[in-house]
Chain A
Amino acid sequence: MGFFQTNLPYLLAGISTGGQYALIAIGYTMVYGILRLINFAHGDVFMCAALMVIYSASFLPLYISVPLAIIATALLGFAIERVAYKPLRTAPRMSAMISAIGMSYLLQNLALYVTGGLTKYYPPIPYISDSIEIFGAMTKRVTVITPIVTVVLIFALVSIIKYTKIGIAMRAVSRDFETAQLMGVRINSVISATFVIGSLLAAVGSTLFFSNYTGVTPTVGGMPGLKAFVAAVFGGIGSIPGAVIGAFIIGICENLIKGLGWTTFSDAFTFVLLIIVLMFMPTGLFGEKTIDRV
């Protein structure tokens, strides 16, 4: 019981960061599933979403500014795909990845310019930023809300992918890009939809994440972005349930490690996990096996 009591705050924090990583990881895994591209700019989209809330909240009430920022982030994701990835669709895979790195560099520098290099603070959102007590552990209400929001959104997403026309198109494209194109699937709108959905979820994740860790700097998106990507790889890239489970495992482990007093290694742990997974299960927990043909 004593062990449980001391580690409970870390476990709770872990579940909540896990949920936030899950929302980012879906963006990675969907884009990778369709384009075979690590969208390095996704973590920066997450950061931009937070900055949009901060700036719009300075002259708008929160109940308008947060939804507005979420929509604006979706548009940002759409714009990034059109500007940075669409022209490179036929280019080698490495070019698109470099373009993603360049886009990430651009978004970070833009944020640096806008913020003037100062740390901006996320506005406290009433209700979800309030402190509450669970089994004697003090935490913010967002800790409890995050897993619920995550699960609800993922159910919504999975049903979109399963039952709607665009969802079927997405699955077809991720199975076989060229054949889907031949069958009359509009590739460009499918890819745009993927980016819009991924950015929407990242924006929701950012609202939850920064209600907990309020400081926003231009490089703040990098680490959660990489970790969410690792989560996607861990779960088997391209698989949505895999990404979610991977994200929760990483979030919980990371916070328990912090609880043990190994904070320096909480980031490194994620990558150790990544390398172990890649060595022994290269396709992750739920990934499909691919066979290389000459």
Chain B
Amino acid sequence: MDSNKKRDLAASVILIALLFLIITVLEQLLPKTSMIFTVLKKGSIYALVAVSMNLLNGFTGLFSLGQAGFMLLGAYTYGILTIPVSARAAVYQYYNGGIVQFALPVFAAILLAGVVAAFFAYLIGLPVLHLKSDYLAIATLGFAEIIRAIFQWDKIGALTNGSNLLRKFPIFHSTLFPFAVSAVCIGIIVLLINSTYGRAFKAIRDDEVAAEAMGINLAHHKRLAFTISSFFAGISGALLAMFQTTVQASQFKSAMTYEILLIVVIGGVGSITGSCISSFLFVACSEWWLRFLDNSDTFIGSIHLSMLRPGFRKVVFSVVIMAIVLLYQKGIMGDKEFSISKIREKLKKKKAEDE
């Protein structure tokens, strides 16, 4: 490891530690209901799922649109396994308390959420992964829809509570929790991408035929990327369940996958830090910063802005997204990563030029 890499590693560790410190301080200073915590919690969850999608779309070149389905699997696994036994009768009121009569500890359930999602991804991957670009996209989208329909089926309601809500499972209270889980998971993904597997993924993305000629087992590596990506999507689904306090199959629509895809694109396809930055920006814009556009009593001077009413925020937001997609195709980071040493080098160069 050369000194630059070491310095980078140290810098990112310090940055992450600083981030955690800032959040801890913020939690002490600001009221619990402050919008910033909502944004930080949801942003960190979306960052994880966006990075998991980027692993597929950006690093392996598999255009999959099944992320919402795997999040659903994760969210349900977590919910079903952690509802306290005493609360089951109330939650499963139409199904005699359901068939699962035990509750697992939170971390075991989160891990299992990932495992279940990964297992289903493995099964789904067997038939669909040999499909080409847009056919793969539409097939995975279809699978997400099938999963959603199955979870709403009342015949297996004793397990999934049919189309009713799952609730009363343990949730997190501190913003640090989703941050810590996401940070660990994203860290693992980064390690994976920098390993030999990661290089094989990138080779497949750049040219399948050439990769195969170099001795990379296409089917094996594609399946691996798909399963791992879904594992982390499942974990983020469990976190999302904790964030929302309830789970219902009907909310995991294809619109959710599209949102995540747009986050990945805005951040830059093939950039982990880009996905993280853009998920916080995306959540902050859609939930917080553009709120004023929904306020119908806004005046500039004495002119009543009659355009502003609920829904206008989303119109402005989607116009901005379209502008990014059309005019700024590379997204925030392109396929580069945010790194301190590069910024330092740039600054040094600039200094040298100035002198």
Q: Which residues of A contact B (CB under 8 A)?
A: 36, 38, 83-84, 87-88, 91, 93-95, 97-99, 101-106, 108-110, 112-113, 116-117, 219, 222, 226, 229-230, 233, 264-265, 267-268, 270-272, 274-275, 278-279, 282, 294
Contact for A116 among B128, B265, B269, B309, CB less than 8 A: B309
Q: Which residues of A contact B312 (CB under 8 A)?
A: 113
Chain B interface, DSSP helix/strand/loop, else mixed: helix
Contact for A99 among B127, B309, B326, CB less than 8 A: B326
Q: Which parts of B128-166 form the interface with A (CB within 8 Å)?
A: 128, 131, 133-135, 137-139, 141-143, 145-146, 148-150, 152-154
Q: Within the assembled complex, what's the spacing in Å between the Cα atoms of A222 and B310?
A: 22
Q: Which residues of A contact B146 (CB under 8 A)?
A: 268, 271-272
> Are A267's CB and B322's CB within 8 A?
no
Q: Within the assembled complex, what's the spacing in Å between the Cα atoms of A268 and B314?
A: 29
Minimum CB–CB distance from A100 to chain B (whole Å) comes to 10
Q: Which residues of B contact A226 (CB under 8 A)?
A: 141, 145, 254
Q: Within the assembled complex, what's the spacing in Å between the Cα atoms of A272 and B147?
A: 11
- Which of B142, B261, B262, B321: most chain A CB closer than 10 A? B142
> Are B311's CB and A230's CB within 8 A?
no
> Are B135's CB and A113's CB within 8 A?
no
Q: Which residues of B contact A264 (CB under 8 A)?
A: 149, 152-154
Q: Which residues of A contact B319 (CB under 8 A)?
A: 106
- 10 further A-B contacts with Cβ under 8 Å, apart from A95-B329, A268-B149, are A93-B134, A94-B63, A105-B318, A106-B315, A106-B322, A109-B311, A109-B314, A110-B315, A233-B135, A275-B142
Minimum CB–CB distance from B282 to chain A (whole Å) comes to 12
Q: Within the assembled complex, what's the spacing in Å between the Cα atoms of A91 and B269?
A: 14
> Are B311's CB and A84's CB within 8 A?
no
Q: Within the assembled complex, what's the spacing in Å between the Cα atoms of A103 and B134?
A: 17
- Which of B138, B143, B269, B309: most chain A CB closer than 10 A? B138
Chain A interface, DSSP helix/strand/loop, else mixed: helix
Q: Which residue of A lies closest to B63 (CB)?
A: A94
Q: Within the assembled complex, what's the spacing in Å between the Cα atoms of A116 and B309?
A: 9
> Are A219's CB and B255's CB within 8 A?
yes
> Are B261's CB and A98's CB within 8 A?
yes
> Are B145's CB and A99's CB within 8 A?
no
Which are the 3 A-B pairs with shortest beta-carbon distances? Answer: A271-B142, A113-B311, A268-B149
Q: Which residues of B contact A112 (CB under 8 A)?
A: 311, 314
Q: Within the assembled complex, what's the spacing in Å between the Cα atoms of A155 and B296?
A: 50
Q: Which parts of B231-258 form the interface with A (CB within 8 Å)?
A: 253-255, 258
> Are B134's CB and A101's CB within 8 A?
no
Q: Within the assembled complex, what's the spacing in Å between the Cα atoms of A98 and B324?
A: 11
Q: Does B317 contact A (CB under 8 A)?
A: yes
Contact for A268 among B133, B145, B209, CB less than 8 A: B145
Known: A117-B311, A229-B138. A103 touches B322 (CB 8 A): yes
Q: Within the assembled complex, what's the spacing in Å between the Cα atoms of A166 and B150?
A: 46
Q: Within the assembled complex, what's the spacing in Å between the Cα atoms of A265 and B154?
A: 11
Q: Which residue of B lies closest to A270 (CB)?
A: B142
Q: Within the assembled complex, what's the spacing in Å between the Cα atoms of A100 and B145?
A: 20
Q: Does B99 contact A (CB under 8 A)?
A: no
Q: Which residues of B contact A229 (CB under 8 A)?
A: 138
